Amino acid sequence: MNILSGRVATVLGLLAVALSLISLGVSFQRSRAYDALQAEVLKKHMTIQDINETIERQKEEVSRQTEVINTGAKVAQQIGPSVLREAGYLATKNKNEKLKKFLRDNKLGSLILTEEQLKKEEEKRSGRR
């Protein structure tokens, strides 16, 4: 029985070693899979960071463009009407048909002066000098 129990102990020992090796292999595979997932998560995190940086740059650009548009709108409101009136005056005075057509095409034909309006404007301007 001594020999039998020794063989059983040997077989059980070999079985324990085999199971340990299998467990170690499974753990190693899990570790590799975990490392691969960690690398993938890190890569996606970096992609998200890049996207967030791009969004921030685009927000800054939109803000800059909005400021330019608002400045342009303010200038247009302040000097636009007088510039357009002057364009109508000069189109009539210089008989500039291209400028008259431009004004009409842009629904600004009312700024083109009649001959009578031109005379009054000329008198008004000569009185300013």
Q: CA–CA separation, 93 vs 1, rounded Å?
A: 131
At residue 129 the predicted structure's pLDDT band, cuts being 50, 70 and 90, is: low
Q: CA–CA separation, 100 vs 112, rounded Å?
A: 7
* Average per-residue pLDDT for the chain: 91
The average pLDDT across 27-32 equals 84
pLDDT digits (tens, 9 = 90+) for 74-100: 998 999 999 999 999 999 999 999 999
66 backbone dihedrals φ, ψ, rounded to 5°: -60, -40
Q: What is the token pair recorded at 124?
A: 């008004």
Q: CA–CA separation, 77 vs 40, rounded Å?
A: 55
Q: What is the token pair recorded at 113?
A: 């002066």
Q: What is the predicted pLDDT for the residue at 78?
A: 92
Q: CA–CA separation, 113 vs 116, rounded Å?
A: 8
Contact 88, 106 (CB under 8 A): no
Q: Which residues contact 66 (CB under 8 A, 6 or more apart)?
A: none
pLDDT digits (tens, 9 = 90+) for 47-81: 999 999 999 999 999 999 999 999 999 998 999 99
The average pLDDT across 25-46 equals 89
State yes or no: pLDDT of 128 exceeds 70.
no
